[in-house]
Chains A and B, each alone.
Chain A
Amino acid sequence: MDARRGCRQLWVSSRLRGFCHLSQAWLWELPLGMLGERLHEELALQWDQLLFDDAPTGGALAWLPTGGIGASRGCLLHPAGPAMDQLCFQDVVLAPGEDGALRPCAQGSPAQFKLSGRVRQVSATQVDGAAFVGVRSDYHCGAWRLQPGAVPTPLQVVRTTSPASCLTVSPHLPGELSLCTHSGAVYLWSVETGLQRLCQEPETMFFRDASPWRWSEFTAHPRVLSYADRTGVQCLDVRAPTQARRDLFKVGAEAGCQRGERVVLPLYLGQAHPAQHLIATQFSVYVVDERFPLVPALRWEHMMTVPPIFAHMMPGSPRGRSHKVLLGAQRTQELMLLQCTGGSTSACQLVGAPRRLHTIADGLQYLPAMTPHQLDWLHQRLGMPAAGVTATLGRCGPLESMLVFQLSEAGDLFYQTLLHSQPADSSPERGHADEPSTSPSLQTPAQAVQHLPGPGTSCGSGTEGEEEDRMETYLSGLEVLVNEDSEDEDSGSAGQPTDPGAQGQGRTSPNQTPAPSPAIAAQYRRWLATLSHAWKHLAEPAKPRVPLTLSQRRLFTRRELGQVPGDRVLHQQARRQLRRAMRERGLVVGCALGSEPSPLPLPCPVEPQAWPDDLSERLTASWVGGWSNWWEEQQGRSQARQARVRALREQRRRRKRARGLCSLSGSFSSSLTCQSDLSDFSDVSAWSVGSRAPTPVPASPQHSLAPSLSGQDAPAEPWPGSPLACSTQLSQEPGGSQDPGTPSQLLSSQMLRLRGVPRERRKTLRDYLSIFTESPVEPPPEVPSSQASRLGGDHRVPLSQSQASSLGGERHVPLSQSQASSLGGERHVPLSQSQASSLGGGQHVPLSQSQASTGSQAKRKRARMGF
């Protein structure tokens, strides 16, 4: 505990110091074991999150074409702001560049909504001419409607008690969404009628998996939802959710899964084929047909280093063009493009080899040269994990282009353009070369950098002017970066032949850096300046840690440092001495270096009573020589403190022990020994001091925890150490012919040995009993005689309340609620209000209420599984 108090790191970070101030009052009270356990849990959680974070599954970026699929304009939905809590609806026009490839140009300023949490997922679909948008943050989900030519209107917001894990918008019915939470519940959320809970299953479907992640998508039938967890996907009928469900996909041998494979992201491919679903695991991608469940129609290993949690599908045209599927990973920003065909008339198959697209960080090599520390910022900034992927197809004359947008966690938005090219003369050996015209070849490693404030900029203090300025940067950023993009495209096509047939003829270096045009350079400088500004204003703890150093300035004054050390006489003298010693190869004696230091004056004698704190007491004790005594005493005290808190956990163990002891003899001495670790006793902080009389039972904390006791048949028993108790006990001694008389007699080692007290416990016992020899107390005044007689009749040793309860087999054990539940008896654990209400809830349960019970269940389950 003292170690915690004296942590050196405390003074390094102001944030930590703040935390320290906040928690000073209570942190010391926590038992170390429990704190450690929680910390361990938290560490495990953080580690999991570092390796794989499923919160942003689905991605927070969406593209809504205005006027049908393939239109040249649309709306880009993405979060912005330092905390990624502003939802932006940005109108974008796809304008052809010089080479015919489409480029996005922002139109006007985006419609923004400030939300109350980080945007995790944005899903959008067009139904009936209007677009519906679902936005998920951890505890809030919102729905918007976007009609062409109108401002987006927020429709409804739902608050959840456990984090939401999925929000998808129905492609069939307007204003319908499906929502999953970490408690295992699936809701059908209709904007008009509200939430309808379909099912709630804290357990996973096919085998046990600890992850609370759930996902739900719509299927070909508007009243049937797919419901996924890590182990598989099922189909859930909204009209009869409790009935047996159909399995759609099961992690296992039928699908040809590997060991340890888990579902990472399901996606309904309704636009491509009404019955197809894409299911991504960390190893493979499956295409599953609803009509043909369990056996995937297609399996492909996607070869990504981390599981893909973003996916986007662009339907092919009806002329037999393939559907394009983009898979995106979070941490490594990997982006994979797959193309598949078939489904209804022909077999489902992939077209061409999967293709990796450029990541955001790949753009770094195309940026102009910069100083190493700038490079370092940029590297960190561009290497941020991805937060979303979306894409759109566009056509300009004969050229078809695909625009792929990528969002990073810092809020930067990037795009790259892929141009469609006719495949070279179909090489006969390709089994799937019958596809007439697909396989867009990647042309550009393009970076479109929309500036958003850096991760550390304080958002609260931003003035309006600043905000406007930022906006301007944002817009022009997009425009100018279109130019930058064109530059890069040149380099891209130079570095990478677009004609597949020409690929054999060698390959120029991809690291060719383009010469940026002045406009780009200016824009880029501006962006970099803003970034560096933001970087400098990063909150201190967010910066990389510097090793702990001591400032010289604190040790010496400025004036002292200013003096040239060689000037001082003493120094010169010392130097001479040193030289001589070196010449003579002799020793330099300390006193030889300067004048004899005058002996220090003795400090004033310390008054031990003036220093009541632990450390001083300890020092005093060790100075006087009784350190070991002090230590033992201290041990007892800290043990007592721990024991008080640990009492609940050790209840069962103690009961056993106590029962064993009791059945042994029920003798006075043994009962006394086992009292030494009683929680009641340990609480009396004054017992070691011995100045205060033990208080009667009702004052002990155990009783305040169990107020229901007095109503039950367990009586308020006298304090076991009180003379009354002693006398009762002693008179009931089995072989009690001799009267022990005063307690001091008890303390003789002979007596103790006679009573069978082990040698190592005698000291404790003696210490304990010495209290009573020093300060005899009055018996507690009101002890009902009936009780006393009952005590007398009872051969059991009267013990403190808690022990009595743990001893008595038949008695109702008065425990605190938590204990009762942990013991798992048949006792009814009183429920909290919310739990009770949720138990009685109907089908239309408001979300915030309904979760309480399941949340606790889930927590308990996890704890059980974790350890």
Chain B
Amino acid sequence: MIGTLRSLARNKHGLPLLVGQSRPVGPRHFRPGGVRDWFILLLPAAEGMDGFVEQPAPREEWGSLAPSIHLPLLPCLLHHPVTRGPKETEFQKTKEACLNYIQDALLQNQWQRAAEFMISYLEILETSTVSKRKTAPELLCQAIWRIGTEILLHHSKSNIEELNYFTERMKNLGVKYYLKVCLEHIFYLLCNGLIDEAYQNLTLAESWRYGEQTAAQNDELKLIQAYKGLLDYYNWSKKREAMLELDEENFTDSSEQEMHNFFRQAAVNLKEIIKIPGVWDPFVVSYVDLLEFYGDFDEAREVLTEYAYNSKFPPNPNAHAYLYHFLKRRGESKKSLVSVLKILHKTVPSHELMLEFYTMLKKSKKDKKRRLGLEVIFEVLDFAGWKENVKAWSCLAEQIKQILDNSNKHLDWVKEEWNSRKDWWPAFHFSHYLAKRNWQENEKLAYEKALLAGILLGKDCKYYKYVLHQGCKAKKKRFQTLKKFVKKHNSAYLRITACSDSSTHL
């Protein structure tokens, strides 16, 4: 009790508290290598979140003195349960130390050093007694697999044969991770351009059966099949290219038959994986390509619609883009295209397709759609990524010019849009600093922005004044016309500001 009060008192004085005490003991959290990072994207989204709702009970370990955040005290992989307890032998201690050295070497990218330690570490497989190894052979194997792969991938002297050999050994060692090891190996082969070998491995992995272990690795099996489908698609598209190059007469029936075989195999596998909620962009694109080639447009449309609009799938802007491009290729009506982009606009207002959306809406005769077009282009320019996009700025300038020329019929649209932005757009887009920079970097951009600044903020706006001044100094003709235009439409500026003022006073 006294100790705490004492430390409290020290803490009040801003002194560091008990530095270096109570460090967590135990090997470091460490998980080298791992399945390549983009692999995560391809895992299906889980339906329930129950497993994560409750805090894992560290309270039982620590009593009520549990840390508010679960610290990586115990690494999931490299912690060996066998070494715990009073029976920790010298050998176990050495192993722990060895593991720490390996980690150290890996993190400093010293692959040779890591490899040397790894060789020593592998003895664990031989020396450990059977009873001890019973406790966590899977974890051990996974650790060896991951560390070994990482070292082999980076080591300057390693080659493909060695890695193949290592992977084969690993597959037999850890049955529980068989398919994961396969996947990793296949990615490696694919990255090195060994498509055929990868295909062989996929075929082997697909037919692998090992009792209950197969069922447990169902997700991986689906992925294996999907990748096999993808490779089938790859082969198919190669054949298609060859076919397009050759004349129809030279293209024999047998090769056509072959191509159709590839199609069938690919379609079956790809269709399977797309059913599971997840992000399957490459698979969907290939599947749709296959279907389109054989003229099954209804199926393709169904797949794409499902992929974009099924709420079980994570919100994926790419799905909308795929659907839009498909419909566009099919020459669908404007209406359906607009409706697709409208949904995309709601989820991702900063999408690249928004400019296309704007041009479609601009041409529309309906006021409502043109109103939406103005909204879209304004919203696009809200985003930092579009800040210096000349095309977007010229679209907006063009639209507003059109409205002004149209006897200010829709000036209230501009007013409404401007109202929500007038407190931050000037600082965000039309500052003096930006005027200087835009003028230096992109004159066209400066011109468009100056036009808008002159209309929206009046001719006293710093941005407008600076750009105009520079433009006139450089004796550019269009800046003269700009000046005239802004002068002519000064009343519009007054109306915009006046209305917005009154609306804020309401």
Q: A residues near B, CB below 8 A?
A: 7, 9, 13, 15-16, 19, 39-40, 42-44, 46-52, 54, 82-85, 118, 128-129, 171-174, 206-211, 220-223, 230, 239, 250-254, 256-262, 264, 270, 274-275, 282-283, 291-301, 303-307, 331-332, 336, 347-350, 352-356, 380, 383-385, 409-410, 424, 427-431, 441-442, 455-456, 496, 500-501, 503-507, 539, 541-542, 866-867
B contact residues around A353 at 8 Å (CB) = 106, 109, 150, 154
Q: Let me know if B38 is at the binding interface, CB within 8 A.
A: yes
- Interface residue from A52, A129, A431, A442 paired with B69 (Cβ < 8 Å): A52
CB distance from B135 to the nearest CB of A (A): 20
Instruction: Output the residue of B10, B317, B427 with the most chain A CB within 10 A.
Output: B427
A838, B150: Cα distance in complex, Å: 57
- Interface residue from B16, B32, B52, B72 paired with A251 (Cβ < 8 Å): B52
A83, B16: Cα distance in complex, Å: 9
- Interface residue from A253, A274, A424, A431 paired with B51 (Cβ < 8 Å): A253
CB distance from A93 to the nearest CB of B (A): 24
Across the two chains, which residue of chain B brings its CB closest to A264?
Answer: B69
CB distance from A528 to the nearest CB of B (A): 19
Q: Let me know if B472 is at the binding interface, CB within 8 A.
A: no
A474, B232: Cα distance in complex, Å: 67
- Interface residue from B23, B51, B158 paired with A429 (Cβ < 8 Å): B158
CB pair A128–B156 under 8 Å, yes or no, is no
Q: Let me know if B215 is at the binding interface, CB within 8 A.
A: no
The 8 tightest CB contacts between A and B, nearest first, are A253-B46, A260-B70, A431-B191, A274-B385, A356-B107, A83-B14, A128-B433, A260-B56
CB pair A210–B68 under 8 Å, yes or no, is yes
CB pair A46–B41 under 8 Å, yes or no, is no
CB distance from B30 to the nearest CB of A (A): 5
A267, B364: Cα distance in complex, Å: 42
- Interface residue from A207, A270, A384, A506 paired with B53 (Cβ < 8 Å): A207
A207, B52: Cα distance in complex, Å: 8
CB pair A283–B72 under 8 Å, yes or no, is yes
Q: Let me know if B474 is at the binding interface, CB within 8 A.
A: no
- Interface residue from B9, B22, B40, B52 paired with A51 (Cβ < 8 Å): B22
CB pair B55–A429 under 8 Å, yes or no, is no
Q: Let me know if B5 is at the binding interface, CB within 8 A.
A: yes
Across the two chains, which residue of chain A brings its CB closest to B437?
Answer: A129
CB pair B156–A298 under 8 Å, yes or no, is no
Q: Let me know if B15 is at the binding interface, CB within 8 A.
A: yes
- Interface residue from A210, A211, A253 paired with B45 (Cβ < 8 Å): A253
A118 and B22 contact, Cβ closer than 8 Å, known pairs A42-B4, A252-B52, A303-B107: no
A30, B15: Cα distance in complex, Å: 28
CB pair A259–B384 under 8 Å, yes or no, is no
B contact residues around A428 at 8 Å (CB) = 192
- Interface residue from B16, B38, B52, B154 paired with A410 (Cβ < 8 Å): B16
Across the two chains, which residue of chain B brings its CB closest to A432?
Answer: B191
A331, B65: Cα distance in complex, Å: 19
CB distance from A669 to the nearest CB of B (A): 44
CB pair A253–B52 under 8 Å, yes or no, is yes
CB pair A51–B6 under 8 Å, yes or no, is no
Chain B 1-50 interface residues, beta-carbon cutoff 8 Å to A? 1-2, 4-10, 13-24, 28-32, 34, 36-38, 40-41, 43, 45-46, 48-49
Q: Let me know if B67 is at the binding interface, CB within 8 A.
A: yes
CB pair A274–B56 under 8 Å, yes or no, is no
CB distance from B419 to the nearest CB of A (A): 11
CB pair A48–B68 under 8 Å, yes or no, is yes
- Interface residue from B2, B155, B382 paired with A16 (Cβ < 8 Å): B2
A82, B16: Cα distance in complex, Å: 10
CB distance from B197 to the nearest CB of A (A): 14
A424 and B72 contact, Cβ closer than 8 Å, known pairs A43-B65, A353-B150: no
What would be 17 A-B contacts, judged by CB atoms less than 8 Å apart? A43-B4, A82-B14, A173-B424, A207-B54, A220-B383, A222-B424, A253-B45, A260-B55, A260-B56, A261-B70, A282-B72, A294-B315, A353-B106, A409-B19, A429-B191, A504-B156, A507-B113
Q: Let me know if B153 is at the binding interface, CB within 8 A.
A: yes
A462, B51: Cα distance in complex, Å: 57
A50, B19: Cα distance in complex, Å: 8
A contact residues around B48 at 8 Å (CB) = 253
Instruction: Output the residue of B14, B36, B43, B113 with the most chain A CB within 10 A.
Output: B14
A720, B71: Cα distance in complex, Å: 59
B contact residues around A500 at 8 Å (CB) = 109, 156
B contact residues around A7 at 8 Å (CB) = 2
A contact residues around B269 at 8 Å (CB) = none
Instruction: Output the residue of A49, A230, A301 with the most chain B CB within 10 A.
Output: A301
Q: Let me know if B111 is at the binding interface, CB within 8 A.
A: yes
CB pair B427–A221 under 8 Å, yes or no, is no
Q: Let me know if B499 is at the binding interface, CB within 8 A.
A: no
B contact residues around A206 at 8 Å (CB) = 49
B contact residues around A19 at 8 Å (CB) = 5, 9
Proximity string of chain B (313-342) to chain A, C-beta cutoff 8 Å, 1 when within and 0 when not: 011111000000000000000000000000
CB pair A304–B72 under 8 Å, yes or no, is yes
CB pair B8–A42 under 8 Å, yes or no, is yes
Majority SS at the chain B contact face: loop
A391, B2: Cα distance in complex, Å: 42
Proximity string of chain B (483-498) to chain A, C-beta cutoff 8 Å, 1 when within and 0 when not: 0000000000000000
A503, B151: Cα distance in complex, Å: 13
A contact residues around B160 at 8 Å (CB) = 429
A contact residues around B188 at 8 Å (CB) = 429, 431
Q: Let me know if B103 is at the binding interface, CB within 8 A.
A: yes
B contact residues around A331 at 8 Å (CB) = 23
Across the two chains, which residue of chain B brings its CB closest to A247?
Answer: B315
B contact residues around A305 at 8 Å (CB) = 24, 28-29, 72
CB distance from A623 to the nearest CB of B (A): 34
Q: Let me know if B420 is at the binding interface, CB within 8 A.
A: yes
Across the two chains, which residue of chain A brings its CB closest to B104?
Answer: A356
Q: Let me know if B366 is at the binding interface, CB within 8 A.
A: no
CB pair A46–B7 under 8 Å, yes or no, is yes
CB pair B68–A306 under 8 Å, yes or no, is no
CB pair B351–A291 under 8 Å, yes or no, is yes
Q: Let me know if B372 is at the binding interface, CB within 8 A.
A: no
CB distance from A383 to the nearest CB of B (A): 6
A50 and B428 contact, Cβ closer than 8 Å, known pairs A19-B5, A253-B49: no
Q: Let me know if B64 is at the binding interface, CB within 8 A.
A: yes
CB pair A254–B76 under 8 Å, yes or no, is no
B contact residues around A49 at 8 Å (CB) = 17
CB distance from A622 to the nearest CB of B (A): 30
B contact residues around A291 at 8 Å (CB) = 317, 348, 350-351
CB pair B428–A252 under 8 Å, yes or no, is no
A contact residues around B41 at 8 Å (CB) = 295, 297
CB pair B23–A295 under 8 Å, yes or no, is no
A174, B110: Cα distance in complex, Å: 45
A295, B38: Cα distance in complex, Å: 11
CB distance from B308 to the nearest CB of A (A): 13
CB pair A220–B52 under 8 Å, yes or no, is no
- Interface residue from A51, A250, A293, A348 paired with B71 (Cβ < 8 Å): A51
A47 and B20 contact, Cβ closer than 8 Å, known pairs A274-B383, A274-B384: no
Proximity string of chain B (248-287) to chain A, C-beta cutoff 8 Å, 1 when within and 0 when not: 0000000000000000000000000000000100000000
CB pair A306–B37 under 8 Å, yes or no, is no
A47 and B314 contact, Cβ closer than 8 Å, known pairs A260-B58, A296-B40, A331-B23: no
CB pair A306–B72 under 8 Å, yes or no, is yes
CB pair A507–B17 under 8 Å, yes or no, is no
CB pair A507–B314 under 8 Å, yes or no, is no
A807, B196: Cα distance in complex, Å: 88
CB pair A254–B383 under 8 Å, yes or no, is no
Q: Let me know if B163 is at the binding interface, CB within 8 A.
A: yes
B contact residues around A441 at 8 Å (CB) = 109
A254 and B45 contact, Cβ closer than 8 Å, known pairs A50-B17, A429-B158: yes
A contact residues around B315 at 8 Å (CB) = 292-294
Across the two chains, which residue of chain B brings its CB closest to A455?
Answer: B15
Chain B 88-146 interface residues, beta-carbon cutoff 8 Å to A? 103-104, 106-113
Across the two chains, which residue of chain B brings its CB closest to A42?
Answer: B4
